[in-house]
Amino acid sequence: MKTYVIRRLLLLIPTLFGITLIVFLAMQAIPGDPVEVYLGSFYDEATAKSIRAEYGLDQPILTQYVRWVGRLVQGDWGKEVLSGDQVLLRITERLWVSAELIAGAMIVALIIAIPAGIVSAVRPYTGIDYTAMTGAMMGVSIPEFFGGILLVLLFSLQLGWLPVMGYRPLSDGAWEHLSHMIMPAFTLGFTRAGILTRLVRSSMLEVISQDYIKTARSKGISEFFVINTHALKNTLIPVVTVMGLQVGFLVGGTIVIETVFSIPGLGQYGISAIASRDYPAVMGFILISSTVFVLANLIVDFTYALLDPRIRYGS
């Protein structure tokens, strides 16, 4: 296990480097001179030259990249163009809001997917299976923002149970906070539950046809126990492996959902940075989001290795 962890951690370095390289090149590829945009009508050759020198924009591109990565590692992610605030500071403030949303969505997805997947695998090709699979198909096909809007229509505008949008920090009280988070988390979770339900079902179907399940049954263990202890453990292995991928979709999903519900998370930060062409902020947003995705995948791989010894000792 130790060598596996070390090898995976070492592999992290080129991946993170690759990400910075792509983000850097992408920003270079944006048409237009940033200094010209920044100065606007105040543009003149002398000022532009001094600004280029100040920010190192007159250096060769490779030097610029190396310096930029150096600053990133030291925690200097640049300043927002409009406010002059440190990008890293603003991002970490907002990261927690998005992280809570993602964690909530993940919990919702698992709470729906595991029971629904088990039940439809245990009673395949019955009404309950078809209902679960239709629900899963809907979850896969509904755009996140539309799902959120339907919930708002029902629970906020029709029933008046939950606030339409907005965000309250935890310091405003637990219910105030949660009532604003329930719908966004549920919306995101439901779309993910679609894929997971189908996965749990097919994985469970495969597991319960195996010999060790027959053995357990023939020992007279109750069906409930056979399914929920013997079979469930192995059923969840493929579910864990796709979790990392799901985090990727959730990171993308928060961007849309935070816009729908006006939640001041990372996604909303990124979208407003793009709208105002605040490139240091855009770079920070993309860097942090993809790093979260890469780290989530790493944690998933470790969990997978813990669950399945074949991975640890494999090549």
Partner 1 sequence: MAAEREAPRVDGAHTEEDQEFEGMSAILWRKMRRNKSAMAGLMIIALLLFLAVFADWIAPFSYENPAGEGLQTPSWRHPFGTDGIGRDMFSRVIHGTRVALFIGSGSIVLAITVGIPLGVCAGYYGGWFDMTVMRLMDLFLAFPIFLLAILIMVILGPSTANVVVALAFVRIPIFARVVRGSVLAVKEKEYVEGARAVSSPDFHILFRHILPNCMAPIIVTASLSIAFAILVEASLSFLGLGTQPPVPSWGFDLKQNLISLEDTASIVVAPGLAIMFTVLGFNLLGDGLRDALDPRTIE
Nearest to 252 by CA among 271, 275, 278: 271
Minimum distance, C-beta of residue 117 to partner 1, in the bound complex (Å): 16
Minimum distance, C-beta of residue 254 to partner 1, in the bound complex (Å): 10
Minimum distance, C-beta of residue 18 to partner 1, in the bound complex (Å): 4
Minimum distance, C-beta of residue 306 to partner 1, in the bound complex (Å): 23
User: Smaller CB distance to partner 1: residue 183 or 226?
Assistant: 183
Helices (H), the chain: 2-29, 34-39, 45-54, 61-73, 87-122, 127-141, 144-151, 174-207, 211-218, 223-225, 232-261, 266-275, 279-307, 309-313
Minimum distance, C-beta of residue 240 to partner 1, in the bound complex (Å): 19
Write out the residues near partner 1 by the rule CB under 8 A.
15, 18-19, 22-23, 26, 29-31, 137-138, 140-146, 149-150, 152-153, 157, 248-249, 251-253, 255-256, 259-260, 270-271, 274-275, 282, 286, 289-290, 293-294
DSSP string, 273-300: HHHTT-HHHHHHHHHHHHHHHHHHHHHH
Beta bridge partners of 79: 86
Q: How many residues does the chain have?
A: 315
Minimum distance, C-beta of residue 92 to partner 1, in the bound complex (Å): 18
User: Smaller CB distance to partner 1: residue 293 or 304?
Assistant: 293
* 59 alpha-carbon distance from chain centroid: 36
Residue 24 · residue 72 · CB < 8 Å: no
Q: Rounded distance, CA 171 to CA 47, Å?
A: 47
User: Smaller CB distance to partner 1: residue 72 or 255?
Assistant: 255
User: Smaller CB distance to partner 1: residue 203 or 290?
Assistant: 290
132 SS3 class: helix
User: Smaller CB distance to partner 1: residue 19 or 57?
Assistant: 19
In the structure encoding, which two tokens stand for residue 94, read together? Answer: 């907002």
Minimum distance, C-beta of residue 277 to partner 1, in the bound complex (Å): 9
User: Smaller CB distance to partner 1: residue 204 or 286?
Assistant: 286
CA quadruple 53, 59, 63, 69: dihedral sign? positive
221 phi and psi, to 5 degrees? Answer: -70, 140
User: Smaller CB distance to partner 1: residue 30 or 37?
Assistant: 30
DSSP string, 193-237: HHHHHHHHHHHHHHHTTSHHHHHHHHTT--HHHIIIIIIHHHHHH
Beta bridge partners of 86: 79
Q: Rounded distance, CA 90 to CA 265, Å?
A: 10
User: Smaller CB distance to partner 1: residue 31 or 314?
Assistant: 31
User: Smaller CB distance to partner 1: residue 18 or 70?
Assistant: 18
Minimum distance, C-beta of residue 200 to partner 1, in the bound complex (Å): 16
Q: Rounded distance, CA 150 to CA 284, Å?
A: 32
Minimum distance, C-beta of residue 164 to partner 1, in the bound complex (Å): 9
